[in-house]
């Protein structure tokens, strides 16, 4: 081993190096501990706000407090739409536990959640952090789900809208969607006042972000309930109208039907019904066409029910005399066109013009009036203008500019072709006859007085035309089935051919009747329209008039209006001097 050198390290040198490293490591550890201790003292003693804020972020949060939606009431404060507290179930799959999958599927089955949605929520790696399992469930079902105590399943308080009157008032009241936002009818039109303002409160949550029951920290903002809405509708009359219209709709196998009842004294809408109807409480499979309030939104050519206004306007303007005699011959040539009657009525006075509903006679009367004057008479009655009753989307109808009329259009307008109105507009126009020449504005909201009423005919003319319309209800008139036992009734029928792409159909009709009662002091105006009756009868006097009679009889009875037919009045009254 010659030539090899060995270097040895003394034992005490190794010991010194190890000691230095140990002390250095110990010093670093002590320094770190000192820093941590100092930080803890600073946060917990000197500066507690930071930890408080961090703790609040993790365990105290703000949640929305839903506001109570205002009620919708009829004129007698009967509820038509109310809100009830319910709970909605939502999930955060992030907190699901594997051993609770069977329990979760059991809950989903109780809630009738589609299996496809359940599988998607249970799928590993899902990024979903919030999903409604079921909205607005009843309290008993909510308690069953809560009892299962499933991780990641939470509950949220909401309100569910309920409609006690169901289909009877559905077209007027409308409905809300799943988020309690108005979609149709008054619910939609008065959304801003009904919905209220949601509040806020602070709550304490557990480690899984669940709200700990009864641990509200403070109210940040109290919810403001929505305003109640009081309608002019009288639910008693609404029910009578709904029942009678439904019976007529089914009996005559109609496409649709509408009816409006007005208070003749102030223009309030006491009832507005349509067929087919729908139940706003169960909207499964609901068609958009079924929810339309046709009485206020749809327009049609009214036919002969406008003839009383032609007679009234001609008398008012002095274009005809009350004792005029009109030759009809059964037809009347206007330019190259022909106006026809169903029969040759010969020579007629004004009462018989309305009683027999002569197109020829009323055309001759209309053509005596200047176009502008005639147009203004219809316009004053509200034709071509929205009735502004307070219902969203009301129809304005159609009334063409008189400068575009030819003589034939001038003539056809006199018997209700070439002008389009809603059932509401038609009912409103008859208030001018019912209230001695004063046309009332109409309102779907309850009111004490009509401040927008205006005179369109003199009281004398209105009374004379109304007296003529009493004869329409006589046995030899066109609306004998509109009579109401014990009461004097006045009204007018209309049987209208429906317009088609190529003109007017010969086998599709609208049956119309508008009337008022009692004639001695009119209280109600009722307009009825039945669209395409297909069971055989289609005349207004045979289809619409009987519906009118049922509703008018019921309304007079409900309001306790005394009979005004002499032969049916109590002996005490008939013997008075």
**Residues known to be catalytic:** 304
For 376-418, the three-class secondary structure string (H helix, E strand, C coil) is HHHHHCCCCCCCCCCCCCCCCCEECCHHHCCHHHHHHHHCCCC
Q: How many other C-beta atoms can be found within 10 angstroms of the C-beta atom of residue 44? A: 11
Cβ atoms 394, 296 nearer than 8 A: yes
What burial class does residue 295 get, using C-beta atoms within 10 Å of its C-beta: 0-12 exposed, 13-18 middle, 19+ buried?
A: buried
Buried/exposed 227-239: b ≥16 CB within 10 Å, e otherwise? ebbbbbbbbbbbb
H/E run at residue 359: helix 359-367
Q: How many residues does the chain have?
A: 577
> CA-to-CA distance for 389 and 296, rounded, in angstroms?
9
Going through 422-518 in order, the beta strands assigned E by DSSP cover 438-439, 454-455, 490-500, 503-517
> CA-to-CA distance for 380 and 389, rounded, in angstroms?
16
DSSP assignment letter at 139: H
What is the phi-psi region of residue 440: left when phi exceeds 0, alpha when psi lies from -120 to 50, beta otherwise? beta
| Cα separation values, 492 from 354, 417, 528, Å | 8, 16, 11
Cβ atoms 527, 557 nearer than 8 A: no
Listed in sequence order, the DSSP H helices in 446-576 are: 459-470, 540-558, 571-574
Listed in sequence order, the DSSP H helices in 444-518 are: 459-470
Cβ atoms 87, 157 nearer than 8 A: yes
> CA-to-CA distance for 391 and 396, rounded, in angstroms?
12
Name the token pair of 543.
């289809």
**Residue 48: helix, strand or coil by DSSP?**
coil
Q: For residue 118, which phi and psi values (nearest 5 degrees)?
A: -65, -45
Q: Is the alpha carbon torsion for 321, 322, 328, 333 positive or negative?
A: positive
What burial class does residue 574 get, using C-beta atoms within 10 Å of its C-beta: 0-12 exposed, 13-18 middle, 19+ buried?
A: exposed
Name the token pair of 104.
């979760």
DSSP assignment letter at 187: H
Q: How many other C-beta atoms can be found within 10 angstroms of the C-beta atom of residue 105? A: 15
Q: Is the alpha carbon torsion for 434, 436, 441, 447 positive or negative?
A: negative
Per the listing, tokens 């009843």 go with 138
H/E run at residue 147: helix 139-147
Q: Quote the distance between the C-alpha of residue 341 and its chain's center.
A: 41
């Amino acid at each position: 081993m010659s030539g090899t050198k060995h270097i040895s390290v003394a034992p005490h040198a190794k010991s010194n190096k190890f000691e230095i490293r140990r002390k250095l490591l110990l010093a670093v550890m002590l320094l770190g501990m000192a820093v941590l201790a100092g930080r803890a003292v600073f946060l917990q003693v000197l500066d507690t706000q930071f930890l408080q804020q961090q703790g609040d972020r993790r365990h105290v949060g703000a949640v929305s407090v839903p506001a109570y939606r205002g009620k919708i009431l009829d004129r007698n404060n009967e509820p038509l739409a109310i809100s009830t507290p319910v709970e909605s179930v939502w999930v955060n799959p992030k907190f699901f536990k594997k051993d609770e999958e069977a329990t979760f599927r059991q809950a989903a089955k109780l809630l009738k959640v589609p299996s496809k949605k359940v599988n998607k929520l249970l799928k590993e790696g899902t990024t979903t952090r919030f999903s409604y399992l079921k909205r607005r469930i009843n309290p008993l079902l909510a308690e069953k789900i809560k009892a299962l105590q499933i991780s990641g399943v939470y509950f949220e308080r909401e309100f569910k809208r309920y409609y006690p009157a169901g289909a009877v008032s559905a077209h007027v009241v409308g409905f809300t969607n799943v988020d309690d936002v108005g979609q149709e009818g008054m619910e939609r039109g008065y959304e801003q006042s009904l919905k209220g303002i949601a509040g806020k409160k602070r709550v304490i949550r557990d480690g899984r972000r669940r709200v700990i029951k009864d641990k509200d920290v403070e109210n940040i903002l109290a919810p403001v309930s929505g305003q109640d809405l009081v309608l002019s509708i009288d639910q008693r009359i609404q029910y009578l109208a709904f029942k009678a219209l439904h019976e007529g709709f089914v009996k005559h196998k109609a496409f649709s039907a509408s009816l409006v009842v007005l208070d003749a004294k102030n223009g309030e809408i006491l009832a507005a019904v349509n067929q087919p109807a729908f139940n706003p409480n169960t909207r499964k499979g609901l068609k958009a066409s079924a929810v339309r309030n046709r009485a206020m939104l749809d327009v049609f050519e009214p036919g002969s029910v406008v003839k009383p206004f032609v007679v009234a306007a001609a008398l008012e303007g002095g274009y005809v005399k009350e004792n005029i005699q009109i030759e009809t011959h059964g037809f009347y040539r206007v330019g190259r066109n022909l106006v026809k009657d169903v029969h040759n009525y010969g020579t007629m006075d004004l009462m018989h013009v309305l009683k027999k509903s002569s197109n020829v006679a009323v055309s001759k009367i209309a053509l005596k009036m200047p176009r502008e004057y005639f147009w203004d008479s219809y316009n004053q009655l509200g034709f071509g203008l929205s009735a502004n009753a307070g219902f969203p989307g009301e129809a304005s109808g159609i009334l063409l500019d008189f400068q575009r009329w030819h003589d034939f259009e001038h003539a056809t307008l006199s018997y209700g072709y070439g002008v389009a109105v809603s059932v509401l507009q038609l009912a409103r126009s008859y208030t001018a006859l019912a209230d001695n020449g004063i046309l009332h504005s109409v309102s779907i909201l309850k009111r004490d007085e009509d401040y927008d009423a205006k005179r369109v005919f003199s009281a004398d003319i209105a009374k004379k035309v109304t007296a003529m319309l009493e004869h329409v209800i006589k046995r030899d008139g066109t609306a004998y089935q509109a009579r109401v036992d014990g009461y004097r009734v006045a009204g007018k029928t209309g049987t209208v051919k429906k317009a088609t792409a190529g003109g007017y159909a010969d086998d599709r009709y609208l049956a119309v009747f508008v009337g008022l009662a009692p004639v001695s002091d009119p209280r109600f105006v009722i307009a009825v329209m039945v669209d395409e009756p297909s069971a055989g009868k289609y005349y207004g006097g045979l289809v619409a008039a009987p519906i009118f009679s049922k509703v008018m009889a019921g309304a007079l009875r409900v309001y306790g209006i005394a009979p005004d037919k002499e032969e049916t009045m109590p002996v005490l009254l008939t013997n008075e001097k």
